[in-house]
Structure 1
């Protein structure tokens, strides 16, 4: 097992208010707009088929894992990264490097969950081999493979299952991640942490970046 595929015991983040209170809850309505990216990425035009698959993974996530608000409300279906002001910078960097025959930027998605933003990166041309997904464990990631039906397509994405909000000294360096990334993505993550966990998390994020990274 390589350093980029290692696992570790994790500390549970601050989950108050971010898990289902009603275990018998029915899924909210999934409108067609929720399914736009999933349809484009998978090539499946039948929205009823997609809707059925989404509800299946929604129920599985609810039964097996903590259900954050982004899961409860189907926010995970829409790549949040595409709305970030720096995403255009990332895509311009990718285009500039491709046109000058330089290596594509190296990107980490911390708190990757189902991997929706990872797939948006791949959809927009970032090589899977240049992406690392990081999360507490692989439970959500494995559900994402079933949701997007793309196990082979994302095979090149490296994964790290580690608590980035823990203060374990030297953890980033031991994983071989220190100073490796041109861009680090961490969408909808900070709000589930305590203030101290946020401080540790951001300190670890800074260690991931190359000089001048974003």
Structure 2
């Protein structure tokens, strides 16, 4: 999460009922965290409501933090093999750290996992959510990915092979996305088979730079695959690297008004070339 995240009203962004796709998190909390199945729903509600009081973001109110999108990536089996072989993954904007716990439960050494988020409070609540403060050895770092230099984040420059970034880039305008992407590039090992994987809100109808930044009144820039590649071309020019974007763009049901016209889910894999 970042301090640039749009904070919306509880009327629109606070859902009482848990989502239908809760089986994976229930299984993880039962097998990994050893929480009795009949206690899991109350546990999730308690953590969510405590987080909402401090960070009333849409992803908290709408239970989106329970969506572990990396497991649906076609790259997931290869990511697991790479981590088991000793490579390192960074979850950028990790929030509660669900992805890292799922990776560990699926066989990845926790010592090869790093999470970063702007809010230390999310990281702390993650330990409470998964009940593993004394047992989970992944490294967590609180830091601002939009700052060119952050002493906490600088410590992992050149130490990462794979980056997971879900629901992150779409929180910013184009220029901040270039800043963010350039910062992430610094985390990769110089000789790494560098890969960035994730999912974010996209659009079927991206706007041109220099005009309206997005159909959304927030000013966030949403991409299709073409503009997403253009962004990474610009990041490459800025960092002296080259990147190839692959992915899918699937239209999503509009939630409210015409501002959501063309709203889509952008799933991506970005590889260094």
TM-score by length of 1: 0.78
Q: Which structure dedicates a bigger proportion of its chain to helix? A: 1
Unpaired segments of 5 or more residues in structure 2?
196-273
1:40 equivalenced with 2:21 (yes/no): no
1:56 is aligned to: 46
Asked if the contact 1:106/1:182 (under 8 Å) is kept, the reply is yes
Any residues of structure 2 matched to 1:1-214 within 5 Å, and which? 12-13=3-4, 15-16=5-6, 19-22=7-10, 27-30=15-18, 33-34=21-22, 35-46=26-37, 48-67=38-57, 69-95=58-84, 97=85, 104-154=86-136, 156-166=137-147, 168=148, 170-171=149-150, 175-210=154-189, 211=191, 212-214=193-195
Residues 113-165 of structure 1: per-residue CA shift (max 9 Å, x gap): 000001011111222222111110211111111111111221x2222211112
Asked if the contact 1:39/1:45 (under 8 Å) is kept, the reply is yes
Q: Which structure dedicates a bigger proportion of its chain to strand? A: 2
The alignment partner of 2:133 has SS state of coil
Q: 1:22 to 1:70 in 2, by over 3 A?
A: closer
Q: Which has the larger radius of gyration?
A: 2
Give 1:54 deviation, angstroms.
0.7
Task: Name the count of aligned residue pairs.
Answer: 190
Unpaired segments of 5 or more residues in structure 1?
1-10, 98-103
More contact order relative to length (CA 8 Å, sep ≥ 6): 1
Task: State how far apart, in whole Å, the 1-side matches of 2:179 and 2:28 are.
Answer: 33
TM-score by length of 2: 0.62
